[in-house]
């Protein structure tokens, strides 16, 4: 998400506020003897104005049962849990609430742009104090709202996946200044927009399903943010200490955070530049954690990409950017000795390089096979680094697959060099490459549980 944390809310269009009344709850015990947990507000049961509470609309449960409401912004998405990796459940399957939520999503599909525009119009008119939490230009923001709705709707009945997704969102939303009391306002306006444009299928039962889901899911995000507040800042300041322009549109940036920044190889974070306040974009870490605390990112300037063009063409050593919290779980499981099959395309080679370094630092000798995909020789901007790693580590093999002069495309190369049954697969690169790679890996017998990849819809499509 590139703005406040949020999700869904109300169908009464006659005024703002009054529908959600937060109530205080006791703080959770502080972990490991830390300071007192900051008191946070828990959204109360959501009830439509002038109408008794719907039957079965209960207070937030400690677990998600059923987990059935989306959130408008996807800031930190588990790389293993995105639409490209798993198909959505059939329309006739799932819990009763899930069916009602999906029916709403199907109904608004053809007019999704109007729904999101109307939602933000309601939000900024009813709650103008929230406007400052969002970027000045809202086009990308509207796109993220729809993507997050679709992502959450896909996992309505998969509680572990959805909880992980929401907890990442709650932690990531802290950098926008999102507070617990913002959730009710956003929910009110989102359900207002949904009920207007899904009027043909909107019923009291549908509203109750959204209310139950929103109440529970918002609490997951609030609790995750409150817990994270005990351990980490909302964001880190980071000074650019090196800016290496590898090609006219690809730069490697090295930054020094103002305080320790814990992360794992294979994860990613969000960056904000001083030139585009409140506009955050996702980038993967291009190295494993280093003893000097420096972080490295590979950035490709994309057409009309505000952040990427600023980082590639405008940023210089001495400039200070902001970092959000780390996210993602495209990480190495060091409790096994399975081989790693890594596919990296374009700047997607950055987290693959980090994974190789991670294996090396753990002193392991498990086989690591890297396929470095590119359209032209020019796009292999970091091939020398990967070949040096190969020379240093006999367990590492690096193969470049160049579209314009290869007899085998990347999917064919995977088939030619197998078998890969004893390998865990990692993919990072353009969405098309990830989708075709996933299909190929499944075809050659690697189960989905052993395929990890960056978020197709958020990490790359939103990296402007």
Residue 333 in domain: no
Residue 448 in domain: yes
pLDDT band with cut points at 50, 70 and 90 for residue 113:
confident
| 399 shares a domain with 250 | no
Among the ranges given (154-163, 382-391, 444-453), the one the predictor scored with the smallest mean pLDDT: 154-163
What lies within 8 Å, CB to CB, of 430 at 6+ separation is 345, 346, 348, 460
Please compute the mean of the pLDDT values over residues 419-446 and round it to a whole number: 90
Please compute the mean of the pLDDT values over residues 265-276 and round it to a whole number: 94
Query: How far is residue 208's CA from residue 190's CA, in Å, rounded to a whole number?
Result: 14
pLDDT tens for each residue of 56-110 = 333 333 333 333 233 333 333 333 333 333 344 444 567 888 899 989 989 998 9
* Model pTM score: 0.69
Please compute the mean of the pLDDT values over residues 398-417 and round it to a whole number: 79
Query: How far is residue 361's CA from residue 95's CA, in Å, rounded to a whole number?
Result: 46
| 355 shares a domain with 319 | no
Give the number of domains in the chain: 3
Cα–Cα distances (Å) from 259 to 59, 255, 264, in that order, read 39, 12, 16
Cα–Cα distances (Å) from 401 to 141, 264, 454, in that order, read 35, 27, 20
State yes or no: pLDDT of 396 exceeds 50.
Answer: yes
- Check residue 19 and give its pLDDT: 28
| 261 shares a domain with 222 | no
Residue where a domain stops, chosen among 166, 197, 229: 229
pLDDT tens for each residue of 360-381 = 999 878 999 999 998 888 889 9
- Check residue 177 and give its pLDDT: 86
Three-class secondary structure assignment of 166-234: HHHHHHHHHHHCCCCCHHHHHHHHHHHHHHHHCCCCCCHHHHHHHHHHHHHHHHHHHHHHHHHHCCCCC
- Check residue 40 and give its pLDDT: 37
| 210 shares a domain with 73 | yes
| 427 shares a domain with 386 | yes
| 76 shares a domain with 186 | yes
pLDDT band with cut points at 50, 70 and 90 for residue 237:
very high
Please compute the mean of the pLDDT values over residues 259-276 and round it to a whole number: 95
- Report the CATH number that the domain containing residue 407 is assigned in CATH: 3.40.50.80
Q: For residue 24, what is the enclosing H or E element?
A: strand 23-24
Query: How far is residue 439's CA from residue 348's CA, in Å, rounded to a whole number?
Result: 18
Residue where a domain stops, chosen among 178, 206, 229: 229
- Per-residue DSSP letter, 159: H
Strand 451-453: give its sheet, edge to edge.
Answer: 396-402, 368-374, 339-345, 423-428, 451-453
pLDDT tens for each residue of 128-141 = 998 888 877 676 66
Q: Which residue has the higher pLDDT, 254 or 462?
A: 254
- Check residue 76 and give its pLDDT: 34
DSSP, residue by residue, 79-134? TTSSTTTSPPPPTT-S-HHHHHHHHHHHHHGGGHHHHHHHHHHHHHHH-GGGGGGS
| 311 shares a domain with 212 | no
Residue 17 in domain: no
Query: How far is residue 43's CA from residue 19's CA, in Å, rounded to a whole number?
Result: 10
Q: Is-contact 319 307, C-beta < 8 A?
A: no
Please compute the mean of the pLDDT values over residues 326-348 and round it to a whole number: 92
- Check residue 402 and give its pLDDT: 86
Residue 270 in domain: yes
Query: How far is residue 82's CA from residue 78's CA, in Å, rounded to a whole number?
Result: 7
In terms of residues, how long is the chain? 464
Q: φ and ψ at 132, to 5 degrees?
A: -70, -15
Residue 397 in domain: yes
Residue 9 in domain: no
| 308 shares a domain with 449 | no
pLDDT band with cut points at 50, 70 and 90 for residue 146:
low
Q: φ and ψ at 398, to 5 degrees?
A: -120, 125
Please compute the mean of the pLDDT values over residues 164-171 and round it to a whole number: 85
State yes or no: pLDDT of 123 exceeds 80.
Answer: yes
Residue 328 in domain: no
Which tokens in the block code for residue 388?
Answer: 């040096």
Residue where a domain stops, chosen among 293, 323, 353: 323
- Check residue 365 and give its pLDDT: 82
| 305 shares a domain with 169 | no
State yes or no: pLDDT of 216 exceeds 80.
Answer: yes
Cα–Cα distances (Å) from 179 to 106, 157, 225, 360, in that order, read 31, 27, 9, 41
- Domain hosting 391: range is 339-460
pLDDT tens for each residue of 282-321 = 999 999 999 999 999 999 999 989 999 999 999 999 999 9
| 199 shares a domain with 55 | yes
Query: How far is residue 271's CA from residue 312's CA, in Å, rounded to a whole number?
Result: 13
| 196 shares a domain with 84 | yes
Please compute the mean of the pLDDT values over residues 389-412 and round it to a whole number: 84
- Report the CATH number that the domain containing residue 113 is assigned in CATH: 1.10.490.10
Residue 415 in domain: yes
Please name which of 114, 177, 175, 171 lies closest in space to residue 146, comparing C-alpha atoms: 114
pLDDT band with cut points at 50, 70 and 90 for residue 45:
very low
| 269 shares a domain with 136 | no
């Amino acid at each position: 998400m590139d703005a406040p944390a949020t999700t869904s809310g109300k169908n009464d269009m006659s005024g703002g506020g009054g529908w959600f009344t937060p109530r205080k709850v006791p703080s959770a015990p502080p972990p490991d003897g830390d300071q007192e947990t900051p008191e946070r507000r828990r959204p109360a049961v959501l009830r439509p104005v002038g109408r008794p509470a719907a039957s079965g609309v209960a207070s937030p449960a400690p677990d998600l049962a059923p987990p059935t409401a989306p959130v408008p912004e996807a800031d930190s998405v588990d790389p293993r849990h995105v639409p490209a990796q798993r198909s959505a459940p059939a329309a006739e399957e799932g819990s009763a609430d899930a069916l009602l939520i999906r029916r709403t999503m199907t109904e608004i599909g053809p007019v999704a742009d109007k729904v999101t525009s109307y939602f933000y119009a309601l939000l900024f008119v009813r709650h103008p104090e929230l406007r400052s939490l969002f970027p000045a230009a809202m086009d990308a923001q509207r796109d993220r709202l729809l993507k997050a709705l679709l992502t959450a709707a896909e996992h309505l009945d998969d509680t572990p996946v959805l909880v992980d997704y929401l907890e990442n969102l709650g932690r990531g939303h802290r950098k926008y200044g999102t507070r617990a009391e913002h959730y009710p306002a956003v929910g009110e306006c989102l359900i207002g927009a949904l009920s207007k444009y899904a009027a043909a299928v909107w019923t009291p039962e549908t509203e109750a399903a959204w209310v139950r889901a929103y109440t529970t899911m918002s609490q997951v995000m609030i609790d995750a943010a409150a817990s994270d507040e005990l351990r980490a800042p909302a964001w880190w300041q980071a000074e650019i200490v090196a800016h290496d322009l590898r090609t006219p549109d690809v730069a490697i940036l090295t930054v020094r955070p103002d305080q320790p920044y814990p992360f794992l190889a294979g994860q990613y974070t969000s960056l904000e530049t001083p030139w585009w306040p409140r506009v955050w974009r996702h980038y993967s870490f291009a190295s494993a954690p280093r003893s000097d605390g420096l972080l490295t990112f590979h950035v490709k300037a994309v057409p009309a990409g505000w952040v990427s063009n600023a980082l590639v063409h405008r940023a210089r050593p001495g400039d200070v950017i902001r970092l959000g919290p780390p996210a993602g779980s495209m990480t190495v499981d060091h409790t096994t000795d399975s081989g790693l099959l890594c596919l990296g395309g374009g700047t997607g080679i950055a987290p693959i390089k980090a994974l190789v370094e991670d294996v090396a630092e753990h002193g392991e000798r498990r086989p690591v096979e890297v396929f470095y995909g590119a359209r032209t020789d020019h796009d292999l901007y970091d091939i020398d680094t990967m070949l040096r790693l190969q020379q240093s580590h006999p367990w590492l093999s690096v193969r470049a697959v160049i579209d314009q002069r290869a007899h085998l495309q990347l999917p064919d190369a995977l088939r030619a060099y197998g078998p890969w049954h004893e390998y865990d697969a990692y993919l990072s690169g353009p969405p098309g490459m990830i989708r075709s790679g996933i299909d190929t890996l499944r075809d050659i017998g690697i189960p989905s549980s052993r395929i990890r990849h960056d978020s197709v819809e958020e990490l790359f499509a939103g990296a402007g």
